[in-house]
Amino acid sequence: MVFEDFTSYTEVDPGSHIERTANHIDHLCYNNEDAYIYKDYGVGHFTDFDIDFEATWVSSSAGTSIVAASLCVLSNNLDDSRSISLNYDGIFARFRRRDGGSETIDLYTVIGGSAVQDNYEPGPALEGSTFYFTLKRSGTNVSLEIYSDATRTVLLDTLTGTQGTAFRYLMGTSSWNNGNAIYIDADFDDLDLHETIDASQDLQTEFIIPFSDFVEFSAEFTVKQGFKNLKSIFTVPERAAALSVYFSVRHTDQLELPVELAVNQFNATPLEIWGALRVNQQYNISNARGIGFYWWGAGAPDHLTEFEMHSPTGYWRAYFPDGPANWHYVFIPMSNFIELGLDGSRPDPTDVVAFLWTYHTTGTRKVLDLTIWYVVPPDLKAIVTVRQSTTKELSSKFKVSHDGAPQELHAEFKLRQKTIDLKAEFSLNQYDGSSNLLCMFTVDELIDIYEVDGTTTGTVYAPSDAFEEIPEMTYTLDLEEGDKVIIMFEANFYISPVNYGRFRIEAGGAAITFNAKISNDSSSASSTRTHLKTLIGKYEATIDETIIFNVTWRSNGTDNLWNTDVERKMIIQHIH
């Protein structure tokens, strides 16, 4: 599954009632304000769709007056869900308590401010329950499937409606502003739009490859898409002679990587086959020293493979030995390329749009890590860090070679481990011995542990509505890029009957854990409950920074949640 990242959504939250992490939204959905969290997916993005999400009716205001919280709102207008139902087009699910107290799950389909709803009303209260939803549309047919389990095997009901408008915005949650100062506390989790092919699914595509009628062969092409990895394998087996082409692309960013693979055959006697792999991506190769990549060949050393770089006004061509069936590195200096212009123009090095490999023999080819090597700047700085935590010896070698003009070479090599032997070899070679060589080699072990204890005696109370820091539960660290921090918080909480509270760990003001919930479902006026709670959070620095770590809390009312007699502490592990 590939879940939407709610940290990329935009909040409209005048009362500060929405909290979110990457896959989780907690909305204290008051019905007297316009509050929602949304993302702009572009005009006409949502046509036919199949959307999964999870929602929990955590709690609601006491009483029997109507109150609602809307979920997974699709619309072309940014407003609260009640305004959408009265004025615009839209589709959304909703938790609702009717006048009189009965609780329902609704599917709303709205056309021009005319709303039609279908309801699920099981009888038992929905508050405190989690549901798993699948919202679908095909053409104008809309359905909301409601399940009681995460695997979506126990279907409770299917609600239906009609709406065919293509939508732009998706709101994770939205208020239902009818002017009443009452609320539903709704959690919204794990939104999956199914717009990326999951790694557990196969996309099967049939390719028709033109060939002469002398031989027959078949082709299989499989694409698997995970969170950010794209792996493509294309194989062509042939009956009469050995014909096998293997094509693998791994792409670790969220950008598209357009790829074309062409396999042709002709001249049956002797059989001649060639394959071309083309990667379409724009690059600037000005001042490049050369092109390098890892290559898996399939021919004798005297078999040459063509490599070309294309621009709109021409291309560069070079040759390299195809080589044996194992990984070997190929580097082609720019001086080895032949420049071929089009219509009297020279190829443009600032606008290279494609790379092309062409080969003329049977066998399997693979390519990895296409790299453009540029001219080395006056200073070359290298940092290598090795971390080893097991009880065996670690042997490592770090080598820096430089064959350019005389210049300074700066290198730093760090190894960090705790209690075991470390064997390391560090060598630097400089082409011209007349220049300076500066290097540093350090071995250190740095795991710092800090403990922060509560010191304020007596009773401290959690605030209502907004999160605030628990007294003394804060610590500031200076971090370097790559440092990791593990924070454990432990405390004895007291909570009065029929109330609840939440607490979480923050780094730099942002939550790094879910909101942990503490509740007391006892209706006895004297039944205060004690909870020993532990929460662990992890943080990794991506830059050098100073970060404040703290623990915050809140409750659903005044003096409902408290801590006493300094029964609270933080333990911080700083791993350098």
Report residue 246: phi and psi, to 5°.
-115, 125
Q: Look at residue 370 in the predicted model and tell me its pLDDT.
A: 77
Residue numbers in the chain where pLDDT is lower than 50: 197-274, 376-380, 389-392, 403, 405-406, 418-421, 431-435, 443
CA distance from start to end of the chain: 33
Q: Look at residue 162 in the predicted model and tell me its pLDDT.
A: 97
Q: Look at residue 353 in the predicted model and tell me its pLDDT.
A: 80
Are the C-beta atoms of residues 451 and 570 closer than 8 Å to each other?
A: yes
For every residue of 9-42, DSSP letters joined together read SEEE-TTS-EEE-SSEEEEEEEETS--EEEEE--
Q: Look at residue 251 in the predicted model and tell me its pLDDT.
A: 38
| CA gap 389, 370 in Å, rounded | 33
Degrees to nearest 5, angle at CA 110 with 109 and 111: 130
Q: Which residues contact 8 (CB under 8 A, 6 or more apart)?
A: 39
Domains and CATH numbers, the chain: 6-192 (2.60.120.200), 203-374 (2.60.120), 380-445 (no CATH), 448-575 (2.60.120.760)
Q: Look at residue 81 in the predicted model and tell me its pLDDT.
A: 96
| CA gap 185, 183 in Å, rounded | 6
Tokens found for residue 558: 């005044």
For every residue of 535-562, DSSP letters joined together read EEEEEE-SSSEEEEEEEEEEESSTTSEE
| CA gap 380, 409 in Å, rounded | 5
| CA distances to 131, 259, 298 from 58, in Å | 11, 48, 62
Answer left, alpha or beta for residue 289, where phi above 0 means left and psi between -120 and 50 means alpha.
Answer: alpha
| CA gap 193, 567 in Å, rounded | 44
Tokens found for residue 129: 């329950």
Q: Look at residue 414 in the predicted model and tell me its pLDDT.
A: 56
Please classify residue 29 by burial: count the beta carbons closer than 10 Å to its beta carbon, then call 0-12 exposed, 13-18 middle and 19+ buried: buried
Q: Look at residue 261 in the predicted model and tell me its pLDDT.
A: 45
pTM of the model: 0.40
Number of CB atoms found within 10 A of residue 349's CB: 17
Number of CB atoms found within 10 A of residue 346's CB: 12
| CA gap 501, 491 in Å, rounded | 14
Sign of CA dihedral 138, 143, 149, 150: positive
What does the pLDDT look like over 311-339, one tens digit per residue? 888 889 999 888 888 888 889 998 899 88
Q: Look at residue 240 in the predicted model and tell me its pLDDT.
A: 32
Q: Look at residue 387 in the predicted model and tell me its pLDDT.
A: 54
